[in-house]
Amino acid sequence: MPADRSAPLLDVRDLCIGFPARGGMVPIVDHVSFTMPEAGILGLVGESGSGKSVTAMAIMGLIDAPGVRVSGSVRFRGRELIGLPPRQMRRLRGRDIAMIFQDPMTAFTPVYTIGWQIDEQIRAHERVTRAQARARTVRILGEMGVPDPERVARRYPHQLSGGLRQRAMIAMALSCNPTLLIADEPTTALDVTVQAQILDLIRSLRGMHGSSVLLITHDMGVVAQTCDSTLVLYSGRVAETGPTARVFDRPGHPYTAALLDSIPPLYGPRPDRLPAISGTPPTPMDRPAGCAFGPRCAHVHAACTTTPPALVPLGPDHAAACVLPAEGTPLPPRILRASNDTCP
Partner 1 sequence: MTATPPAPTALLAVRNLSKTYHVGHGQHLTAVDGISLSVMPGEMLGLVGESGCGKSTLGRCMLRLTDISAGQVMFEGRDITTLPERHLRPLRPRMQMVFQDSSACLNPRRRVRDLLAEPLRVHPGPDGRRRPGADIDRRVHDLMDLVGLSATALARYPHEFSGGQRQRINIARALALSPRLIVADEPVSALDVSVQAQIVNLFADLQARLGLTYVFVAHDLAVVRQVSNRVAVMYLGTIVEIGPTDSVLHHPVHPYTAALTAAVPRPVVGARPPPPLGGDIPSPVNRPAGCRFHTRCPYAQDRCRVDEPVLRPIRPGHEAACHFPLAPS
Ligand X SMILES: Nc1ncnc2c1ncn2[C@@H]1O[C@H](COP(=O)(O)OP(=O)(O)OP(=O)(O)O)[C@@H](O)[C@H]1O
Q: Which alpha helices (DSSP H) does the chain contain, by range?
A: 52-59, 86-92, 114-125, 130-143, 149-153, 162-174, 192-209, 220-226, 244-249, 254-261, 335-339
The rounded distance, in Å, linking the Cα atoms of 99 and 104 is: 11
Residue 300 near which of partner 1, Mg ion, ligand SF4, none (CB within 5-8 Å, type-dependent): ligand SF4
Query: Does residue 237 interact with ligand X by CB under 6 A?
Result: no
Is residue 291 part of the contact set for ligand SF4 (CB under 6 A)? yes
Among 146, 294, 318, 319, binds ligand SF4 (CB under 6 A): 294
**Interaction of residue 259 with partner 1, rule CB under 8 A:** yes
* Alpha-carbon gap, residue 216 to 230, rounded angstroms: 10
Residue 331 interacts with ligand SF4 (CB under 6 A): yes or no? no
Residues 6+ apart with CB under 8 A from 232: 45, 46, 238, 239, 240, 241, 247, 253, 255, 256, 259
Q: Is 255 in the site for ligand X (CB under 6 A)?
A: no
Partner interacting with residue 293 (select from partner 1, ligand SF4, Mg ion, none; CB below 5-8 Å by kind): ligand SF4
Does the footprint of ligand X cover residue 52 (CB under 6 A)?
yes
Establish if 162 lies at the interface with ligand X (CB under 6 A). Answer: no
Q: For strand 318-320 and strand 79-80, is the pairing parallel, antiparallel, or unpaired? A: unpaired
| Burial of residue 213 (number of CB atoms within 10 Å: 0-12, 13-18, 19+) | buried
Kindly state the smallest distance separating residue 168's Cβ from partner 1, in Å.
13
Name the residue nearer to partner 1 (CB basis): 129 or 278: 278
Binding to ligand SF4 by CB under 6 A, coded x per residue (else -) over 171-190, reads --------------------
CA distance 189 to 338: 27
Question: For residues 63 and 144, which CB has a smaller minimum distance to ligand X in the complex?
Answer: 63
**Is 234 near ligand X (CB under 6 A)?**
no
**Binding partner of 116, given ligand X, Mg ion, partner 1, none, CB within 5-8 angstroms per partner class:** none
Smallest separation, CB 44 to ligand X (Å): 9
Beta strands 79-80; 10-21: pairing state: unpaired
Q: 193 Cβ partners below 8 Å, 6+ apart?
A: none
Residue type, 111: V
Report d(CA 215, CA 226) in Å as an integer: 9
Residues 40, 10: Cα–Cα separation, whole Å:
11
Report phi then psi at 130, rounded to 5: -60, -40
Specify the pairing of strand 10-21 against strand 24-36: antiparallel
Q: Which stretch binds partner 1 (CB under 8 A): 173-181, 259-267, 310-318, 322-330?
A: 259-267
**Closest separation in Å from C-beta 1 to ligand SF4:** 40
Q: Is 7 or 25 the residue whose CB approaches ligand X more closely?
A: 25
Residue 192 as a binder of ligand X (CB under 6 A): the answer is no
Residues of this chain that bind ligand X (CB under 6 A)? 19, 28, 46, 48-54, 65, 218, 284
Residues of this chain that bind partner 1 (CB under 8 A)? 47-48, 161-164, 191-197, 199-200, 218-226, 244-245, 248-249, 258-260, 262-267, 270, 272-278, 280-281, 338-339, 341-344
Residues of this chain that bind ligand SF4 (CB under 6 A)? 253-254, 291, 293-294, 297, 299-300, 304, 309, 322-324
